[in-house]
Amino acid sequence: MNRVTGSYVVTESHNEEVHSFIPAALPPARPDLEPESYRDLNNKAELALAKLDGMSGLVASGEWLIYSAIRREALLTSQIEGTQATLTDVFDNEAGLSVANANDVEEVTNYLQAYKYVRQQIQSPTGLPVSVRLLTEAHKILLAGVRGAQKEPGNVRISQNWIGGTRPGNAVYVPPPPKEVINLLSDLELFIHNEETELPKLVRIALVHAQFETIHPFLDGNGRIGRLLIAILLESWGLLPEPLLYMSGYLKTHQTEYYRLLSEIRTTGDWESWIRFFLEGVIISAEEAQQSIIDIASLLAVDRKAVLYNSSSTLQTLRLFDMLPIMPKITVERAQAELQVSFPTANSAVKTLVLTGVLVETTGRLRGKSYVYEAYVKLLR
């Protein structure tokens, strides 16, 4: 492949001249994309997403699946950027328990809040569409009070950034100069809302993500916002009505190849290899999510039956069990608050779930106990 995907300009940054890359507007041209290079994979990926959507009915509440999928995506996209938090840390934090690496957990929590915000916006008739403004608002939430909080949260950069190396002069990649960023983002927004293109939606998402990472419009958080953009477009374009796909797992597993192919777009114009990689990722991620839903549905069905058949179970026991898929780590105090019952009633419900084998006590203490739906958490890991 020998396609020109942009141009280099000489600019000064940190008292040295550097070659900064300005990408051409989408879609790729001269030559146009080769449909035969992605057609079959795209069909398979669309089918995998349709199957995934159809499986959400296997559980009583779609919110159970959304809860687990979003948290896995939040955790994995943050881990790509070096965050060390674990799923258990996230659940502990949500239960109000102390965690060792609180700063890393806060980064994951911020991502969850940013994700929640953008979903509310795109679902609301009066909300923001997929746009530069929506991304900057999400960016503000993402970096609030955490590592990167000094990197102008919510603002498109007005200074030069770079990827790899200790300065722009020895960087692996130098994104566009600040003065070009707004126009490049405007072009990207126009492409997102161009309804006349014949390109398949998944191919367009692959193009949008790569272009966003190439523009690198923020001083920090570009990777996470770029991957959030994938999730936003999957939902807003109707490919998945609910966020059940955690694509970052695939990208984390193949992180070296992920970065290499993004680089190849800039250096050789090879968009096709990136698109195939992305579509393969959608297929694999969708299949993994399908299996996860089957496993979760099977576990919940077996455990719910055990709770129903336990002679000590009450209505509150069953209510608490049905809450566990969206709060797998609990204390009696949290159970009391969620059930809106007395402490003894909540304590009795928790004890019954322990006797049933659903909950496991995690502290070994007489006071300040916490409990985890261990089998469920193991599935999510």
CATH classification at residue 139: 1.10.3290.10
Confirm or deny that 6 is annotated as ligand binding.
no
Catalytic residue among 139, 193, 209, 216: 216
Average confidence (pLDDT) over 51-72 = 87
pLDDT at 356 over 80: yes
pLDDT at 100 over 90: no
Is residue 295 one of the residues assigned to a domain? no
pLDDT band at 14 (very low <50, low <70, confident <90, very high): confident
pLDDT at 149 over 80: no
CA-to-CA distance for 326 and 336, rounded, in angstroms? 15
* Domain match, 176 and 319 both: no
Is residue 346 one of the residues assigned to a domain? yes
* Domain match, 160 and 191 both: yes
pLDDT at 1 over 70: no
> Which of 149-163, 201-215, 291-305 shows the highest mean pLDDT?
201-215
List the domain range (segments joined by +) for residue 123. Answer: 6-288
Average confidence (pLDDT) over 248-262 = 97
| pLDDT for the residue numbered 225 | 97
pLDDT band at 346 (very low <50, low <70, confident <90, very high): very high
* Domain match, 202 and 329 both: no
pLDDT per residue over 35-54, tens digit each? 999 999 999 999 999 999 99
| pLDDT for the residue numbered 64 | 84
pLDDT at 34 over 70: yes
* Domain match, 360 and 243 both: no
Considering the entire predicted model, what is its pTM?
0.94
Confirm or deny that 216 is annotated as ligand binding.
yes
pLDDT band at 377 (very low <50, low <70, confident <90, very high): very high
* Domain match, 266 and 323 both: no
* Domain match, 186 and 260 both: yes
Is residue 97 one of the residues assigned to a domain? yes
Q: How many domains does the chain have?
A: 2
Is residue 296 one of the residues assigned to a domain? no
Instruction: Supply 170's token pair.
Output: 């020895």
pLDDT band at 307 (very low <50, low <70, confident <90, very high): very high
Confirm or deny that 258 is annotated as ligand binding.
yes
Q: What distance lies between CA 318 and its chain's CA centroid?
A: 31
| pLDDT for the residue numbered 148 | 66
| pLDDT for the residue numbered 151 | 81
The answer to whether the bond into 31 is cis (omega within 30° of 0) is yes
216 carries an active-site annotation: yes
Confirm or deny that 220 is annotated as ligand binding.
yes
| pLDDT for the residue numbered 279 | 98
Is residue 63 one of the residues assigned to a domain? yes
CA-to-CA distance for 304 and 307, rounded, in angstroms? 5
Average confidence (pLDDT) over 257-281 = 97
* Domain match, 320 and 351 both: yes
* Domain match, 158 and 65 both: yes
pLDDT band at 98 (very low <50, low <70, confident <90, very high): confident
Query: Cβ of 88: how many Cβ atoms within 10 Å?
Result: 17
* Domain match, 137 and 231 both: yes
* Domain match, 168 and 224 both: yes
* Domain match, 260 and 358 both: no
Confirm or deny that 242 is annotated as ligand binding.
no
From 231, 256, 288, the end of a domain falls on 288
Say which CATH number the domain at 330 has.
1.10.10.10
| pLDDT for the residue numbered 376 | 95
Question: Helical H runs in the chain?
Answer: 39-54, 62-80, 87-94, 102-123, 132-143, 178-192, 201-215, 222-236, 248-253, 255-268, 271-309, 315-323, 332-339, 343-355, 374-380
From 258, 288, 318, the end of a domain falls on 288
Average confidence (pLDDT) over 219-231 = 96
Q: What percent of the chain has pLDDT over 90?
A: 83
Average confidence (pLDDT) over 114-120 = 96
* Domain match, 357 and 263 both: no
| pLDDT for the residue numbered 62 | 78
Confirm or deny that 227 is annotated as ligand binding.
yes
Confirm or deny that 72 is annotated as ligand binding.
no
Single out the residue of 2, 22, 26, 27 nearest to residue 10, CA to CA: 22
Is residue 241 one of the residues assigned to a domain? yes
Confirm or deny that 223 is annotated as ligand binding.
yes
Residue 102, classed as helix, strand or coil, is helix
From 288, 323, 341, the end of a domain falls on 288
Is residue 301 one of the residues assigned to a domain? no
Is residue 219 one of the residues assigned to a domain? yes
Confirm or deny that 19 is annotated as ligand binding.
no
pLDDT at 189 over 90: yes
